[in-house]
Amino acid sequence: MPVVAEKMPKIDLHCHLDGSLDLEVTHKLLAERGEDYNFQEFRKLMQVDPDCQNLAEYLKRFDLPNRCLQDVEGIKTSAYHFAKNAALENVKYIEARFAPVQSMKQGLKPIEIIEAVEAGLAQARGEFDIETGMIICMMRGMDDEFNYSIAKAGREMLGAGVVACDIAGDEESYPMSQQMELFRSVKALDMPFTIHVGETGNAQNVRDAIDVGAVRLGHGIAMARNEELMKYCASRHVGVEICPTSNLQTKAYRHIKDCPICLFMEHGIPVSLNTDNRTVSNTNLSTEFDKVSVSFRLTDEQIHKIYTDSVEMSFASDDVKHRLLSKWR
């Protein structure tokens, strides 16, 4: 299976830019900005240990990468290598999600950050066989007015690189009930959105996200223990972005057998298989497919369905979707 996974075309719909930076490039960018690290120590600061204990420990690995995403050149270079590395493992389409607020510490405006990411992605598209989209992340814990301004900045480039928006952050402290009005406003912008929900066990967050208009759910694990909610999700044809390795590392579940990918598929829920954070989790999409395929003995038909469902639930244009479907052999 490993050779098959590496060679087959793949779609990554849930992948954070700051958690997926090229190690060597980031090491060099930080050195140019006055932060020189021993490379082996640097690697430990960028990637979680196999025995990572929780989400809080996992999130510490984002401190360094965000420090080289504070100027246009650093952002553009990082985005280029992000897409390049995905293309080299035969990922044909990737949606890069990022929170502009994390790159505003030195005065960049949200639109400047979004344009810099798109410049790097566009360069990679011109050099490699890959299509890209940007998902603009709002952050839990920020006030609605600020988050709405981030969504509006993304809306300015909708169709010009931006494909959707999202909200990430501490789901347990800031449940969906606090963000319903925000997403009603985002929906009024005619801005598509996915939402990080259900990662920490709160099924009500999943229900609220669907009700407010999310067409995809980031993780959605809490739904696996709720038969009625799975049926509701399937009836609305809401897709779920599955990220096995990162969920294991953050202890969202304890064993790969607890990953609900097949359970969701059995209930008619569209699923995609994703990396979440390629560098922080020390993974890629081939590894994710190998891990899930071996654990659940996926058939060729199931793997093909994951690919086609991923294309259909992507925020790509119809033309891009048609090209992606034609790449499956």
Domain CATH for 195: 3.20.20.140
Contact between 168 and 176 under an 8 Å Cβ cutoff? The reply is no
The band of 233, judged by pLDDT with boundaries at 50, 70 and 90, is very high
Cβ 54 vs Cβ 250: under 8 Å: yes
Q: Distance of alpha carbon 179 from its chain centroid, rounded?
A: 20
Q: What's the mean pLDDT in 122-138?
A: 98
pLDDT value, residue 2: 42
Asked about 199 being catalytic, the answer comes back as yes
Q: How far is CA 241 from the centre of its chain?
A: 8
Q: Give the span between the Cα atoms of 117 and 267, in whole angstroms.
A: 37
pLDDT single digits (tens) 46-89? 999 877 877 778 888 898 999 999 999 999 999 999 999 999 99
Would you say residue 1 has pLDDT above 50? no
In the sheet with 91-98, reading across from the earlier edge strand, the strands are: 10-16, 91-98, 131-139, 162-168
Residue 148 has pLDDT above 70, yes or no: yes
pLDDT tens, position by position, 179-217: 999 999 999 999 999 999 998 878 999 999 999 999 999
pLDDT at 270: 98
Q: How many H-runs (helices) and E-runs (strands) does the chain carry?
A: 16, 8
| Structural domain count, the chain | 1
> What proportion of the chain, given as a percentage, has pLDDT over 90?
89
**Minimal CA–CA distance to 5: which of 93, 90, 132?**
90
C-alpha atoms less than 13 angstroms from C-alpha of 70 in its C-beta half-sphere = 13
Tens of pLDDT, residues 154-183: 999 999 999 999 999 989 899 999 999 999
Catalytic option among 199, 288, 301, 312: 199
pTM for the structure as a whole: 0.96
pLDDT number for residue 7: 86
For the residues 124-143, what does the mean pLDDT come to? 98
Could you list the residue range(s) of the whole structural domain that residue 112 is in?
Answer: 2-326
CB 157 within 8 A of CB 188: no
* Max Cα distance, the chain (Å): 54
